Amino acid sequence: MTLKDAARAVRENAHVPYSRFKVGAALRTPSGAVHIGCNVENVAYPEGTCAEAGAIAAMVAAGDKQIEAIYVVADAPAPVPPCGGCRQKIAEFAAPGCTVTMATLDGEEAEMTVPQLLPGAFTADHMDRT
């Protein structure tokens, strides 16, 4: 299954009683493993958790630590970029050359590298004072 197909399929599982805005994400690791996530809202946290964060959590839970590519899809008039928090998470786990593809259900796609998506990302190097 392609990342596109996996993201579109998991998007249908989103729990979005407040926004009704379903998002699906699928990522691939260098080993070829695919991990998926969808957004989830609840009363205590109505803005919910993001699809990208869910896919990253699934990746880490499975023992993987690096994203080779990620695909995000939503029913929107234009491709929707990951939120700021997810951009940081993607940057922290991104393999060199990692691509981020954002898409609509109508098939419009936009692809970026992680540095294009989050220029000036905070890294562990910022904490190194030696």
**Token pair belonging to 126:** 């910022």
pLDDT in tens, 53-93: 999 999 999 999 999 999 999 999 999 999 999 999 999 99
For the chain, what is the mean pLDDT? 93
So which residues are the catalytic ones? 52
Q: How far apart are CA 106 and CA 92, in angstroms?
A: 30
Percent of the chain with pLDDT over 90: 80
Is 42 annotated as a binding-site member?
yes
Task: Answer yes or no: are the C-beta atoms of 121 and 88 closer than 8 Å.
Answer: yes
Is 60 annotated as a binding-site member?
no
Q: Domain 3-127 belongs to what architecture?
A: 3-Layer(aba) Sandwich (3.40)
Global pTM exceeds 0.75: yes
Tell me what pLDDT residue 130 has.
66
pLDDT in tens, 19-53: 999 999 999 999 999 999 999 998 777 777 899 99
Is 40 annotated as a binding-site member?
yes
Query: Which tops the pLDDT comparison, 37 or 119?
Result: 37
Number of CB atoms found within 10 A of residue 72's CB: 27
Q: How far apart are CA 33 and CA 55, in angstroms?
A: 12
